[in-house]
Amino acid sequence: MNVNVTLIFGLENYKAVADAYLTGLDNWHCEDRPFAAATR
């Protein structure tokens, strides 16, 4: 699934969303799936 995050206001929220995004990629990679397929 391709995800677009909307309605981000404030630096703290940007950091929280970035952390959520990176954690999602980590979880994806932990299942032996290539980053390239998740970050096209």
Partner 1 sequence: MPALADLQNFGQSVWFDFIRRSLITSGELKALVAQGVRGVTSNPAIFEKAIAGSSDYDEEIKALAKTGPSVEAVYETLAIKDIQLAADELAPVYRSTGGRDGYVSLEVSPFLAADSGRTVAEAQRLFVTVGRPNLMIKIPATAESLPAITESIAAG
CA dihedral (13, 14, 20, 24) in degrees, to 10, reads 160
35 binds partner 1 (CB under 8 A): no
In angstroms, the CA 5 to CA 40 distance is: 16
Q: How far is the CB of 15 from partner 1 (least distance, A)?
A: 11
Q: How far is the CB of 16 from partner 1 (least distance, A)?
A: 6
Residue list 2-21, contact with partner 1 (CB under 8 A): 2-9, 13, 16-17, 19-21
CA geometry: angle 5, 9, 2, nearest 5 deg = 5
Residues contributing to the site for partner 1 (CB under 8 A): 1-9, 13, 16-17, 19-21, 23-25, 27-28, 33, 37-38, 40
